Amino acid sequence: MRGARHIAAVTDASFDLAAGECLALVGESGCGKSVLASALLGLLPGNAETAGSAVVDGIDVLAADERALARGVRGRRIGLVPQSPAAHLTPVRTVRAHFEETLRALSGTPRRELRAATEAAAARVSFPPGHLDAYPHELSGGLAQRAATALALIGDAPLLLADEPTTGLDRDLVDRTVDELRRHTDDGRALLMITHDLAAAERIADRVAVMYAGRIVELTGASAFFGSPGPRHPYARGLLAALPERDFTPVPGMPPELGDLPGGCAFAPRCASATGVCGTPPALTAGVACHHPAAPHG
């Protein structure tokens, strides 16, 4: 197509995720986090291209066709808490109808047990039973988010993708939601949580992956990331420093457009530690992609 550009939305993303483990994927808006989740579910636009492999419960989901994804992956092997829940709920059906359909399809719940099973599914995420007969447009953003979370949990999929699952929730409901996701993980399932909420990530995650300009620039244990010795990549350190309970100092500058990345290290134009060597792209080595990482124990 004349004028079309090739944009590498996610590049060289590599990680494993074990049963019973939560990996929090964090970074500024537009860095590629949600694109990664969409790729795992085969929900990218038709002109998108993927390479490599992503094996979930024995199936390479990047190589699977639409029929295999629809019948054997989505909801059954990978559950999704979407970033925009209202867009994933059918507007002419009640929340109860959504729950009942999902329970029948994924759990084989008999019709006579659907009412009790629906109320139990709602209770898992503190969704008020009085709103089960509401339509999606009658829900607040927070209620729509909780409904979507409950629907994602119904299939007890081996991998759950939670894309900003705490959007629109007050702090108490954030804590309840992430605690339920943690219980889901502790039952032996894997959780990839995409979030801007670092407090929620600290509460739930076993490991943290920091994404910047389509690349994972740091991958480390949550206790080391949020505690001591702290992040090693300058961008990751900046994310933590921006928190109100820390330095409350924003990361300087703006993230680059994925279609107009600078040569070398994409963070170099915003980095106080950048030198001439940063004109060469850094590899992810020992969990950090930086030419000038902080010392691992200091």
pLDDT 10s digits, 43-97: 998 889 999 999 999 999 999 999 999 999 999 999 999 888 877 899 999 999 9
Annotated domain spans of the chain: 22-279
Residues contacting 162, CB < 8 A, separation 6+: 80, 81, 149, 152, 181, 191, 192, 193, 194, 195
- pLDDT, mean of residues 202-228: 96
pLDDT band at 1 (very low <50, low <70, confident <90, very high): very low
Those residues whose C-beta lies under 8 Å from the C-beta of residue 264, and which sit 6 or more positions away, are 278, 279, 280, 281
**Over the stretch 5-34, which tens digit does the pLDDT of each residue have?**
788 889 989 999 999 999 999 999 889 999
Residues 99-120: tens digit of each pLDDT: 999 999 998 999 999 999 999 9
**Residue 297: what pLDDT?**
61
Secondary structure letter of residue 38 according to DSSP:
H
105 C-beta neighbours (distance < 10 Å), count: 13
- CATH superfamily to which 22-279 belongs: P-loop containing nucleotide triphosphate hydrolases (3.40.50.300)
Instruction: Read off the pTM.
Output: 0.91
The fraction of the chain above a pLDDT of 70, given in percent, is: 98
Across the range 230-256, mean pLDDT stands at: 94
Q: How many C-beta neighbours within 10 Å does residue 235 have?
A: 25
- Convert the pLDDT of each residue in 117-139 to its tens digit: 999 999 988 899 999 999 999 99
